[in-house]
Structure 1
Amino acid sequence: MTATELKQRSLLGLKDLSEEEIMSILDRARYWEEQPEKVQPVIPGKFVANMFFENSTRTRFSFEVAEKRLGAEVLNFSAAVSSVQKGESIYDTVRTLESMGIDAGVIRLKPIGVLAELAEKIRIPLINAGDGNNEHPTQALLDLYTMQKQFGSLRGLTVSIVGDILHSRVARSNLYALKKFGANVRFCAPPNLEAAELDAPYVSFDEALRSDVVMMLRVQLERHEGGMIRSAEDYREHYGLTVERMAKVQPHAIVMHPAPINRGVEIDDELVEHPQSRIFTQMSNGVPVRMAVIERSVKG
């Protein structure tokens, strides 16, 4: 496989992907969603390794379901029960699996920058399942797919992303992709959780609620100890989507969330399955989107 082919089949992020490339993935996802048969073995004999060096439930299972629906042979790797615990480097682990003959790797990492370095050295397509606070491309793709199904077009939509922008790979991938389609992206965040390097305006929560899409981000409770968030209760009071605030959301608008959800913190429990919520729809849409991404990576 040439370096150009490898780059075309990998999915490291959406920042450098064209509108046409993104749309082709979304179109193929629609094809997969419309298939009546759950299993369509279009890539039999292809080995795909899910390499998760950071904990994940939804993303890992979503990829695994997608891979099995395509007829792939699936290897699941968890850092907690691997040689990484014994000091083996991430590179050595990925290189080992490559040497064993896998055809593609789905990878989630905590360290920033490691994925880009791996992509330069590894000669199989890599799919980014979340790297540090850099990008989470398949999450953004399923978000775009959800918005597109709801509104028909992304162009002109106003999307407000609310929460910890500073540490959010979801916010970054959505920003990069939505801007390519002419959507208006706005952020709303506590001042100490803003990301100044990202090109989007910050608005008040009341203004964010007047959007076509209100996307709530997970409150990273593990950061409380560092004092970045005073308390879960304080966060809910100022930046949580409460029942009272939901009354200000426009009737045509939708509420989204990448999950996992801290019920009663960033969103009130009774709003998770509100008629305007698309949270579980997003999870459902993740499977055909990831089918399209995996097929793109390994099909000759």
Structure 2
Amino acid sequence: MMSAPDAQIDATGRLRHLLTLEGLPRTTLEGLLDRAQTMVDAGEVNARLAGIAVCTLFFEPSTRTRLSFQRAAQRLGADVLGFDASTSSTTKGETALDTFRNIEAMGVRGFVVRHSDDGAVATLAAAAAPDTALINAGDGRSAHPTQGLLDMLTLRQAKGGDFSGLKVVIVGDVRHSRVARSDLHALRTLGAGEIRVCGPASLLPDAAMLAGCTISHDFDAALEGVDAVMMLRLQRERMAEGLVDSLEDYHRDYGLDARRLRRAARDAVVLHPGPMNRGVEIDDDVADGPQSLILRQVANGVAARMAVLETLLG
């Protein structure tokens, strides 16, 4: 089977699926960001997907991503079908592939898929009909490409389109984060000047994933002079796995509060993909403070996902 980066581009160079930001040509990535920004500026609502059915096929819980995709599809005039794994035939043993094929047979052309297994969305894409498009809404630890897009859109709005002078730090559980992977792929593709990655050794991945990044276990040092701080959710199951001693210790070493944020550049911005653990990886005075772009990320998510849906299905 082809890799996800290869499977999403057809022989003509057209984006057929969006499975990952890894290997996505810079022109394609910037084109999606440009289209999303146009939609933000115009407050765009159009009927370009009128008569096209889109299914949010989520095998994992979600709030922001699912609702954002539903909102995006509705604003493009699509017919939106929701799928709830807890009340579906998957509870009777039906495989994800059979579920997908049955819904596709109903005439659904677009699928937004979240799954707990790495590579699950690429497997479904390999079985899709030629006129069916799949969008990865998060698979295992692998990728969350539309989160990466909306994060880059938010950074462009705040810091401009030239990333060459940008210093960005990604903080927290990078090892298990599909968001971090997609953000790293996008930042590299867009030519970010310096990418720093910070967290306890137990929550950082192997060196291959962090190629070209400055790695630190000292949050205070990693914050010095950065233009953007991208916080990650501490997945509490890591405590049960023994990867984190305690929430209190994690907050002491890697929690972002207003005092600590002063080490960053004066106009530094703060991002977080949500859901947030307030008082663990981020404090209220930052999450709700003037440098926080967290709610703008959510708003930008609708535009970014509109751009993807329109590009794949329009």
Q: Could you tell me how far apart the structure 2 residues matched to 1:81 and 1:156 are?
A: 49
Q: Could you tell me how far apart the structure 1 residues matched to 2:306 and 2:11 are?
A: 22
Residue 63 of structure 2 corresponds to residue 52 of structure 1: no
Which residue of the partner structure matches residue 13 of structure 1?
Answer: 20
Residue 222 of structure 2 corresponds to residue 208 of structure 1: yes
Q: Percent identity?
A: 46
Q: Could you tell me how far apart the structure 2 residues matched to 1:78 and 1:101 are?
A: 19
Which residue of the partner structure matches residue 186 of structure 2?
Answer: 177
Which residue of the partner structure matches residue 234 of structure 1?
Answer: 249
Please state how far the C-alpha of 1:6 moved relative to its aligned partner.
10
Which residue of the partner structure matches residue 297 of structure 1?
Answer: 312
Please state how far the C-alpha of 1:243 moved relative to its aligned partner.
2.9
Q: Could you tell me how far apart the structure 1 residues matched to 2:259 and 2:42 are?
A: 40
- Higher mean displacement: 175-184 or 159-168: 175-184
Residues 5, 221 of structure 1: alpha-carbon distance in 2 compared, 3 angstrom cutoff = farther
- Higher mean displacement: 24-33 or 247-256: 247-256
Q: Could you tell me how far apart the structure 2 residues matched to 1:29 and 1:152 are?
A: 15
Aligned length: 297
Q: 1:31 aligns with which of 16, 24, 38?
A: 38
Which residue of the partner structure matches residue 190 of structure 1?
Answer: 200
- Higher mean displacement: 114-123 or 157-166: 114-123
- Higher mean displacement: 240-249 or 213-222: 240-249
Please state how far the C-alpha of 1:54 moved relative to its aligned partner.
0.7
Partner of 2:112, secondary structure, is: strand
Which residue of the partner structure matches residue 172 of structure 2?
Answer: 163
Q: Could you tell me how far apart the structure 1 residues matched to 2:97 and 2:33 are?
A: 31
Q: 1:133 aligns with which of 141, 162, 170?
A: 141
Give the letter for the 1:191 counterpart: A
- Higher mean displacement: 87-96 or 111-120: 111-120
Give the letter for the 2:235 counterpart: Q
Give the letter for the 2:19 counterpart: L
Q: Is residue 10–residue 16 contact of structure 2 (8 Å, CA) maintained in 1?
A: no
Please state how far the C-alpha of 1:7 moved relative to its aligned partner.
6.6
Q: Is residue 6–residue 125 contact of structure 1 (8 Å, CA) maintained in 2?
A: no
TM-score (norm 1): 0.95
Please state how far the C-alpha of 1:242 moved relative to its aligned partner.
2.1
TM-score (norm 2): 0.91
Q: Could you tell me how far apart the structure 2 residues matched to 1:109 and 1:4 are?
A: 27
Please state how far the C-alpha of 1:3 moved relative to its aligned partner.
5.3
Q: Where in structure 2 are there 5+ consecutive unaligned residues? A: 1-8
Give the letter for the 1:56 counterpart: S
Q: Could you tell me how far apart the structure 1 residues matched to 2:262 and 2:214 are?
A: 24
Give the letter for the 2:135 counterpart: I
Q: Where in structure 1 are there 5+ consecutive unaligned residues? A: none
